Structure 1
Amino acid sequence: MKKGEIYEGIVEKIDFPNKGLVCVDGIRVIVKNAIPGQKIRFRIHKKRKDRCEGILLEVLENSPMEVCPPVCKNFPACGGCMYQTMDYGDQLSMKASQVKELLDGALKKSGQVDSQGGAEYIFEGICPSPLQWGYRNKMEFSFGDSYKDGPLALGLHKKASTYDILTTDDCKIVHSDFTKILKCVLDYFTLYPQPFYRKMQHEGYLRHLLVRRAQVTGEILVNLVTTSQVQPDLSGLADKLKKLPLEGRITGILHIINDSLADVVASDETRILFGNDYFYEEILGLKFKITPFSFFQTNSLGAEVLYSLARSYIGDTKDMTIFDLYSGTGTIAQILAPVARRVIGVEIVEEAVIAARENAALNHLDNCQFIAGDVLKVLDMIKEKPDFIVLDPPRDGIHPKALEKIIDYGVDRMVYISCKPTSLARDLEVLIARGYRVERVKCVDMFPGSVHVETVVLLSYKKPDSTISVKVEFGEGESKVLLDNIAKRAEAYKPKERVTYKMIKEYIEAKYGFKVHTAYIAEVKRSLGLPMYDAPNAVEELKQSRKRPTAEKVEAIKDALKHFKMI
């Protein structure tokens, strides 16, 4: 089996998030974006010792699990909800089994699950989403073209593409109000053309359309994201949007200026074209003010299921101080506040913290405190100790150093809410190694049709069954330990300093007079078979092809690696 060769095979299973397993002549091949049971044609694009990776070229035969007709005209070109042809019950079963397999693997490594797979925790399956379609309350659409020099498009990226955009004007995972707004904006800029932003050239005007719509209140916030390279009058667009026959109600139309080189929805400046820069949503009887960049679960009704489950796992919180870490707009904190002594939320996005404070006042809760900052740093500033901790980190999970600080509190129980099972499994290994045990696990399908799933885990701290006291005396004489011997052994077993990318880059710039990209160093290390450490913010898929260093830079990097005794 060689790179570039084309093969056919049956997809045996899907590992999270969308890694299809195909076996050809006893060789394991991972092919993304397939469905179990499909017969597919694929091309090998990576070959490693233990497995190969392929790119899906064509579905030759549908899977027996594909019993539903596609509901979207862009299927399967758009990879947003690739499981839409599967029965919803089969989707749920597949997601639950993916999560359980990952957690069993993590718990087996750390000793909580025995080698025969016997579980010492309760896996409670998966809760379905209250809505299978039209469930999303937020969508980021991109401007571009569907092919080079084609007409302006506004929508989602084509599957496995960084540049090509599909106009998703009949997307079924959002409310119909979203598509009416999308069509209005696309028609306006077709009539009054403006260039879309080209990432590689860093030129153009139109970047994104961010729409947020509350499921319960029906309030809508429309955000047009552009660069500052052009300054057109957008009052005509605002007027057209206000006249749309929507089921909901537009409460704000914003023009967000973003000149960042990164392909992210962010704000350098926000201008209000109409109304307010916020809207309101309601969950479990509480009201929440949401701003353009506030973190809020994208499935409002699903969030009620998720938070109700988390609350049931937490149990009695009377007279407890609870830490809600990675608190977003304070949703969980405020759900727990009425039945706790005090809740302290920590969130790195300052805008979300401001909204959380306003939400607490809006809901007449005076026992909540919200702190803006990185959990890693903020925990050192809080003098109070928690009785219970709720963790709801972003997709990349918890920074290793922050996790150590969380563990050091030694609380009896914690609830971990995760939107990425692979990050969860990694963090659970650390937690179990430090004395925690997984008690109960249940998934919630917040994203029907897609590969994603939320997981709620209840952890308890297992105190040691017994302790042994050992008396050691230092100094000269019989039965005493010499201090010099301790110092010598400490020096002998002292761990080597970890060589960082920064150290390598500084060495090369000082010696050779030029800079090297971090990706170049990683590429050379990878080619030499050196260990590649897992980073807390590592991604599973590269948005761009991996950078290739020149021969001159390869030699400079190898020289640096020799200097630091890595090779």
Structure 2
Amino acid sequence: MKYELGQIIKGVEAINFTYEALGLVKADDYSIFVENLLPQEKADIQIKKSNTKFAFAIVVKRYNDSPKRIKVLNQKLMLSGSTPLAILNYADQLEFKENVVKYLFQRNIHFNETQKILPCEKQWNYRNKITVFVESSKGKIKFGLYEKNTHKLVEQDSYDLANESINKLLMYLNKNINNYKCFIENGQFLKQIVVRYSESYDQMMLAFVQDKPFELSEDLLKDLTSNFKNLKVILKEEKVKKTTYTYYSEAKNIQDKISNLTFNIDYNSFFQVNSYQTNNLYNLLVNNLHLDKTMNVVDAYSGIGTISLKIAEKVKKVYGLEIVKEAVINAKQNAKLNNINNTEFYEGDVLKTIDNIKEKIDTIIIDPPRAGVSKEVLEKILKIEPKQIGYISCNPHTLCRDIDLLTLSKKYKLEFLKPCDMFCQTHHVETVAILKLK
């Protein structure tokens, strides 16, 4: 069975809510995944994408509301796909995420001891970074977020996931951006605006992303710095044949804190987007590992050194492995900034750089991208046989896959598994796992 693009299907009912926060509708054995449709809700839906096995659809008309549905406060943000769980109260969001992890591990590796999810104290305005998209038409610039799965721009009245300071800057730009000559003449070459903010130090970074170089005007820079005293870094990123950066500020980075540690963060640094919950996430890892001053620890995918530096005081030595050159430079700078002397950072692929370590490795910590860890790296870890493995994951499916491989070896046992809500109002969930050598 295959439905046609744009086809309307009347009177269907969602029977489940998938891990991607989509209502599941069944037509015979054919699955249709519907945005903004909760179980027990009936609706007319329109097919947006389909193949022979499944389809994706949107609601055209909803006939009833689930008892769990609440009023969405920001419809424009919902349209962008940024807040698919904003239709549920926070307790139901937590239950949904916890169940995603719990059932995944029950079903695939028969693990029945998933701990309760760690809630986030702040459910809105928690993001310390945002990227908005820019369009220019008839000499006028507008910016916002794309409607989900499209390139249709939806202008926003507020960015309720982003920190309040980021909102103030974006609202100022929204009101005034068309007053500046550099944008009037070159608006079609401006593609994105990126803002980062550090609440710990009240510092902000603003970047204008261009696909053809043009200079930012003096009046723009003067107005920005006079209206936003905390705007420490202003730059433009030129994405032409080669990506280049031009800074209009003396500083090239801002600083943020995790616990008592300070980190330099430049434009390309990976830093957890929820500053309010990051230390809690890392504490879940550190407090459930056995760490002491005799241990050598490997921090794979170490980024700018956030985890490495947090655990350094508890162990003999930390080796950070990271493929991004700039991140390794940042990590070394951050170690020096915090007067930490028992860390070493290696640039390169984990599979190769781990061979640089001649000491016995007691603990390996993994915090990979959403794709998880390659089979080759997991097999290398199994050969090394560290006493324990700590795994922080932003994708429970690849986490489950990787832990399945590690436990099937009969060498490791999964001893701790706890979800942590880092991304409120979204279906994404962070999870901490600890495995111990048998």
| TM-score after normalising by structure 1 | 0.71
Residues 150 and 425 of structure 1: CA distance in aligned 2, closer, same or farther (over 3 Å) = farther
Give the one of 224, 244, 251 matched to 2:232: 251
Conserved in 1, the CA contact under 8 Å of 2:21 and 2:84?
A: no
Q: Judging changes above 3 Å, is the alpha-carbon distance between structure 1 residues 403 and 89 closer, same or farther for their aligned structure 2 residues?
A: same
Gaps of 5+ in 2: none
Corresponding residue for residue 3 of structure 2: 3
How big is the shift at 1:155?
A: 2.1
8 Å contact kept, 1:38–1:59: no
Distance 1:269 1:171 in 2: 28
Gaps of 5+ in 1: 108-112, 114-118, 197-203, 261-266, 463-567
Asked if 1:302 corresponds to 2:265, the answer is no
Task: Tell me, in whole angstroms, the C-alpha distance in 2 between the residues paired with 1:52 and 1:292.
Answer: 40
* Equivalent in the alignment of 2:432: 456
Equivalent residues in 2 for 1:488-507, closer than 5 Å:
none
- Match of residue 224, structure 1, among 208, 215, 221: 208
The equivalent residue for 1:131 is 122
Q: Would you say how many aligned residue pairs link Structure 1 and Structure 2? A: 429
- Within 1, Cα distance between the matches of 2:59 and 2:159? 24
| Corresponding letter in the other structure for 1:234 | S
Q: What is aligned with 1:235?
A: 218
Residue number in structure 1 paired with 2:378: 403
- Match of 2:248, SS? strand
* Equivalent in the alignment of 2:145: 156
1:499-557 superposed Cα distances (whole Å, 9 cap, x missing partner): xxxxxxxxxxxxxxxxxxxxxxxxxxxxxxxxxxxxxxxxxxxxxxxxxxxxxxxxxxx
1:106 touches 1:428 (CA, 8 Å); kept in 2?
no
Percent identity, aligned pairs only, is 30
Kindly provide the CA deviation profile for residues 399-435 of structure 1, in whole angstroms up to 9, marking residues without a partner as x: 2222221222111210110001121122122212223
Task: Please state whether the residue corresponding to 2:249 is helix, strand or coil.
Answer: strand
Q: How far did 1:29 drift?
A: 2.7
Q: CA RMSD in A?
A: 2.2
When residues 218 and 34 of structure 1 are mapped into structure 2, their CA distance, relative to the original with a 3 A threshold, is: farther
1:208/1:225 contact within 8 Å kept = yes
Deviations 1:59-100 (A, max 9, x none): 503332122x32325143221012113110000000110111
Note if contact 1:156-1:166 (Cα within 8 Å) is conserved in structure 2: yes
Distance in 2 separating the partners of 1:291 and 1:360: 15
Partner residue of 2:416? 440
Q: For 2:262 and 2:37, how far apart are their aligned partners in 1?
A: 40
Partner-residue secondary structure (3-state), 2:345: strand
Higher percent of residues as strand: 2
Measured after TM superposition, the shift of residue 299 of structure 1 is 0.3
Please name the residue that 2:256 is paired with.
Answer: 281
Identify which of 273, 291, 294 aligns with 1:319: 294
Q: How does 1:243-392 map to 2 (within 5 A)?
A: 243-244=226-227, 249-259=230-240, 268-392=243-367
Q: Equivalents in 2 of 1:156, 1:377: separation in Å?
A: 39
Which residue is equivalent to 1:39? 42
Q: Which has the higher contact order (CA 8 A, sep 6+)?
A: 2
Q: What CA distance in whole angstroms lies between the structure 2 residues aligned with 1:257 and 1:47? A: 38
Distance in 2 (CA, whole Å) between partners of 1:59 and 1:317 is 59
Residue matched to 1:491: none
Work out whether residues 324 and 345 of structure 1, in 8 Å CA contact, stay in contact via their aligned partners in 2. Answer: yes
Alignment of 1:164-183 (within 5 A): 164-183=152-171
Residue identity in the other structure for 1:418: S
Q: CA deviation at 1:103?
A: 1.9
* C-alpha distance in 2 between matches for 1:314 and 1:46: 45
- One-letter identity of the residue aligned with 2:328: V
- Alpha-carbon offset, residue 319 of structure 1: 0.9
d(CA) in 1 for partners of 2:345, 2:172: 39
Structure-2-length-normalised TM-score: 0.91
